[in-house]
Amino acid sequence: MATNVDRRKFLTVLGVSGGGAVALSGCSTDRVQKLVPYLVQSEDQVPGVPTWYASTCTECSAGCGVHVKTREGRAIKLEGNPAHPVNRGKLCARGQAGLQGLYNPSRVKGPMLKENGAWKEITWDDAIARLAQEVGKASGRVAVLSTPARGTFSDLLDNWVGAAGGTVTRWEPLDLEPVRMASRLVYDTDAVPGHNFAEAHFILGFGDFLETWNSPTEQQIGYAESHGFNGDAARHVQVGARRDLTGLNADEFLSAAPGTEAAVALAMANVISGGGSGPFASLIGEWTPDAAERASGVSAARITAVAREFAAASPGLAVAGGIAAQGDNALALAVAVAVLNSVAGNVGRTVLPAAAVPTGDGLAGMQRLMAAMDGGQVGLLMVHDANPVYALPKSYGFAEKMAKVPFKVSTGHFLDETAEACDLLLPNHHALERWDDLRARPGVTGLMQPVMEPVFQTRHTGDVLLGVARAIGGGFAQFTAASFEEHLKQAWAGSTGGDAGWRAALAAGGAWDGAPAPSSSAAAAPPPPTPAPAFAPPAAPAEGDFTLVAFPHAFLYDGRGANRPWLLENPDPVTKITWHPWAEISLETARRLDIRRGEIIRLVSDHGSMELPAYPYTGLHDRAIAVPLGFGHTSYGTFAQDAGPTPLDLIGPPGSTPWINYAGTRVQLEKTHGFKDVATTEGNPRQLGRGIAEAMPIEYARRGLTVKESHLAAGAGHHEINTPLEVEAIAGWREEQIEARKLGDYAEVHPAWGMSIDLSRCTGCSACVTACYAENNIPTVGYDDVLRGREMSWMRIERYWEGGEDGEPLEARFVPMLCQHCENAPCEPVCPVYAAYHTVDGLNGQVYNRCVGTRYCGNNCPFKVRYFNWYKYNEKAWPEPLHMQLNPDVTVRARGVMEKCTFCIQRIRGAQHDARLEDRQLVDGEFTTACAQACPSGAIVFGNRRDPASRVSEVSHDPRGYVVLEETNVRPAVTYLAKVLHAPEAGA
């Protein structure tokens, strides 16, 4: 896709004016008393024209580059930075919801001190003085808990703590400790290796890599490159106990008992290396396919066949991702997969130990901190960007140990569980309000700059540290910078080569060396084998026992997203559940114990128990029970609280493994008589042969067959879409249409906007859903209204099941469903007041002002993509200051009117106006819809279908192209490209 022209222009502006944003005002709530026009118009502030700033996403540790769209001094949307090597212009749902972290109503509004158990607002001067005093009192016993994210701030923090005397612990939940350890053992590099999905011809997954693991957006971009169909496609086989989103995208899923994935990986390595010869013989020798079958339940024949395919693909890529690499046998799995990649010759090609992702101190560091707190060796604890009281299992006793620290400080944005246990709150600026940088990985550093005035009376923690240093003096004299901004610029001065270089880096969003993706050029020889850990498959659980798989929620992740309504209402990609946690049980378990969806079940472990609504799921191993992390906050703002329990409460105290054992706890299941309505957006998950999500075998796709031809080739009966009589009627209708088109404005030549969606690339990640919410001011409706099917998602991801019964393999098909902007739209003629009408450029318009709310259009829409404002969602969905995120280009709809996807008409008109002002033609790809912009897979293409050279025309004419519900003759403007099924090669 062509680069966004207007954006580049704005960034140029930015490079010149540097950090002009700090000088801007107009967004803070309480300080503005009078509206006074500018005496001198600010150069980069034109009312009505957005200003873009480059920044870096801090929602997870991947370090994606973002472009922040601001209007009149407020950030209103986050999009990927197209030039950034990590995410190449794309951004996941969690990243986009960073905006709801900025404007979250539960943010701490200023410094606070706890006195007699109650929080009291104080001034920043008092707060810094108090901290300086406490640092002095702690006399060298300062402990700081921070995230593994590294950058200029973390260097400053190290030095500061060094001067104060103490330690910094870098930890975050769900870190990749086992993978890092395996990398040290097998590749001799002490870091998580980079993965090059794009160049893999065969992907072998042993855990999630599309939802949350490591750098999901980057991985998804690469995955879509290789696994999406473009003449050919990589095959993807997934091994695991639970079919997460990655598992649902796989062409074949091998269901292994929880904790035994390593056996399968080792057996595959065994097959590839010819029965276990070679450098890893001692490790893989005993793991024949038969042994692995006994341990895991995966058939030896499939293990052998897949291993051969994997070896033949060259290069393939095996990934020990997701929760499988966080359980009992996580290290064994990570080592096994590293060995598998090694024997298959992938190291240096798709597995890049050199392109390492930094990690923190792991659980070992955290345990040292806890021991120190317990032993009274910590006088002052400062928690920065972490919430261990919530994120560590209760059985670890962090809160109790923390209570022994005399003085505790938090710099968090929210009054979360950890902040609640502190004595002093020094809320940091949000990432969009502050100067900062982030070293995503070697050679890639992202910059952050304030894009608007702070929403609240927060202060940059760097400035706080410098302020404390000034107050104490003495050993802190080395900190001379007046502000963190100055400190950051000094730190960058050396590497960027002066002011011009700094400005260039700022405009670009950071600095990185040329290669846009982990390079595969540096081929590294397999390192010498090191003593590998022994792998013992977990003992089969006792009768009635299950293995708990506590997996990170696709959007809430470890719980940090739990106070963002966009993430709570975006349905989980697998179960499509919103707003509350659930417990997945296998269909077999559900049948045996007669448990239906929504029945409350009690999970009991040695360490706790909890009650959750059951969700029987075909994709789960019989021995497993899967529960999402992320809920169960007791203090994280109104949206997060009282949502339900977190499985962390079931997990026992730290064992021998230096990572949290998210998978492997033994739990018993007890029935209760309770019931909870599960707030899923799923209607009927079966297509009933209606051809909504089409798919074809890869051999037909390679031959260029159309969907219809592929059905015929597969032996399905010939099915005429319309009868001869209907065909005649349609022909007559066409004539009339042509006549009607000669009238008025419709007679002129206009574009015909259209879209194509490639289902072979779509992974169902739902980034487009959040993009749509952000761009179009879509309200979230909450649990009760989701139960009544009233979610307003203009763009929704339908997830249909195929097979999965009578021993057939389960297949998932994801269909992004949005208004199809039908040429012959059934919603238009039935509107009594012309609120639904057809624009001259082929859009299905909706005039909110004119709508009286008869809802006839909604009934008559065969795709069911019209959404009605049942309540005053516009007054409830954006509690102050969340309303600041609203896009001023899009009407906020009142109750009582119908709304729907507009193909981002504000973007179309904006681009048309720009082109008009510049007296030129609109260029294909110059702009696109919010969903297409966000889609990490590049599955969505938007453009003018009337222009034969446009990309959307080209893609829509792909043989795999089809329209949904063709028999209704509504003539959608959205063309879907059939998914491609990559079954095992014949004879494999």
Partner 1 sequence: MTAVAQPRITQTHADVTRDVVATLQTPSRGYYILLFSAVGLFLVGLLTFLILIKDGLGHSGYTPPVMWSVYITTFVFWVGIGHAGTLISAILFLFRSPWRTAVYRATEAMTVFAVMTAGLFPIIHIGRQWVFYWLLPYPNQRYLWPNFKSPLIWDVFAISTYLTVSTLFLIFGLIPDVAAVRDKARGWRKFIYSQLSLGWTGSDNQWRHYSRAYLYMAALATPLVLSVHSVVSWDFAASIVPGWHGTIFAPYFVAGAIYSGIGMVLTLLIPLRKALKIEHMINEYHFDNLSKLTLLTGSILFYAYAMEYFVAWYSGNTFEQTTFFRRAFGPQWWAGWTMIICNAFVSQLLWFRKIRTNLTALFVISIFINIGMWFERYVIIVSSLSNDYVPWAWDVLNPTWADWGILAGSFGWFGMYFLLFARTFPIVAIQEIKEMIPMPRRRAGGGHH
Contact footprint for partner 1 (CB under 8 A): 682-690, 692, 785, 788-790, 796, 798-800, 815, 817, 826, 829-834, 850-856, 858-860, 862-864, 867-872, 894-898, 964-965, 968
Q: Which is nearer to partner 1, 609 or 854 (CB)?
A: 854
Q: Tokens 């065909």, residue?
A: 727
Phi, psi of 904 (to 5 degrees): 50, 60
DSSP code for 88: T
Residue 628 one-letter amino acid: P
Residue 697 host element (H or E): strand 695-697
CA nearest 327: which of 398, 276, 256? 256
Q: Which is nearer to partner 1, 115 or 875 (CB)?
A: 875
CA nearest 432: which of 415, 408, 416, 456? 456
| Cβ count within 10 A of residue 16 | 11
DSSP code for 476: G
Distance of closest approach, residue 834 Cβ to partner 1, in angstroms: 5
First to last CA, the chain: 38
Residue 976 host element (H or E): strand 974-977
Q: Tokens 């400190």, residue?
A: 487
Q: Which is nearer to partner 1, 227 or 799 (CB)?
A: 799
Distance of closest approach, residue 402 Cβ to partner 1, in angstroms: 44
Distance of closest approach, residue 977 Cβ to partner 1, in angstroms: 19
Distance of closest approach, residue 681 Cβ to partner 1, in angstroms: 8
Phi, psi of 908 (to 5 degrees): -60, -50
Query: Peptide bond preceding 315: is omega within 30 degrees of 0, i.e. cis?
Result: yes
Distance of closest approach, residue 576 Cβ to partner 1, in angstroms: 9
Distance of closest approach, residue 816 Cβ to partner 1, in angstroms: 11
Write out the two tokens for 364: 């070992």
- Asked if 697 contacts 714 with a C-beta cutoff of 8 angstroms, the reply is yes
Distance of CA 588 to the CA centre of its chain: 31
Distance of closest approach, residue 782 Cβ to partner 1, in angstroms: 11
SS (H, E, C) 343-391: HCCCECCCEEEEEEECCCCHHHHHHHHHHHHHCCCCCEEEECCCCHHHH
- Asked if 963 contacts 823 with a C-beta cutoff of 8 angstroms, the reply is no
Q: How far apart are CA 811 and CA 685, in angstroms?
A: 12
Cβ neighbours for 13, distance < 8 A, ≥ 6 positions apart: 43, 44, 51
Cβ neighbours for 591, distance < 8 A, ≥ 6 positions apart: none
Q: Which is nearer to partner 1, 544 or 689 (CB)?
A: 689
Distance of closest approach, residue 797 Cβ to partner 1, in angstroms: 9
Distance of closest approach, residue 726 Cβ to partner 1, in angstroms: 11
Q: Which is nearer to partner 1, 8 or 741 (CB)?
A: 741
Q: How far apart are CA 58 and CA 917, in angstroms?
A: 37
Q: Tokens 């992702």, residue?
A: 357
CA nearest 651: which of 596, 696, 608? 608
Distance of closest approach, residue 683 Cβ to partner 1, in angstroms: 4
SS (H, E, C) 774-806: HHCCCCCCCHHHHHCCCCCCCCEEEEEEEECCC
Distance of closest approach, residue 282 Cβ to partner 1, in angstroms: 51
Distance of closest approach, residue 899 Cβ to partner 1, in angstroms: 11
* Angle at 672 (CA atoms; ends 669, 677), nearest 5 degrees: 105
Distances (CA, A) of 949 to 924, 939, 945: 8, 19, 9
| Cβ count within 10 A of residue 316 | 26
Distance of closest approach, residue 574 Cβ to partner 1, in angstroms: 15
Distance of closest approach, residue 676 Cβ to partner 1, in angstroms: 16
Q: How far apart are CA 907 and CA 322, in angstroms?
A: 37
Q: Which is nearer to partner 1, 593 or 894 (CB)?
A: 894
Write out the two tokens for 367: 């345990």
Q: Which is nearer to partner 1, 8 or 690 (CB)?
A: 690
Q: Which is nearer to partner 1, 16 or 834 (CB)?
A: 834
Q: Which is nearer to partner 1, 862 or 910 (CB)?
A: 862
DSSP code for 474: G
Q: Which is nearer to partner 1, 30 or 720 (CB)?
A: 720
Distance of closest approach, residue 211 Cβ to partner 1, in angstroms: 21
Residue 109 one-letter amino acid: K
Q: Which is nearer to partner 1, 541 or 685 (CB)?
A: 685
Q: Which is nearer to partner 1, 22 or 830 (CB)?
A: 830
Q: Which is nearer to partner 1, 631 or 814 (CB)?
A: 814
Residue 77 host element (H or E): strand 74-80
Cβ neighbours for 448, distance < 8 A, ≥ 6 positions apart: 55, 56, 58, 431, 432, 434, 435, 436, 437, 438
Q: Which is nearer to partner 1, 124 or 871 (CB)?
A: 871
Phi, psi of 767 (to 5 degrees): -65, -35
Q: Which is nearer to partner 1, 283 or 693 (CB)?
A: 693
Distance of closest approach, residue 783 Cβ to partner 1, in angstroms: 14
Q: Which is nearer to partner 1, 470 or 790 (CB)?
A: 790
Q: How far apart are CA 598 and CA 576, in angstroms?
A: 13
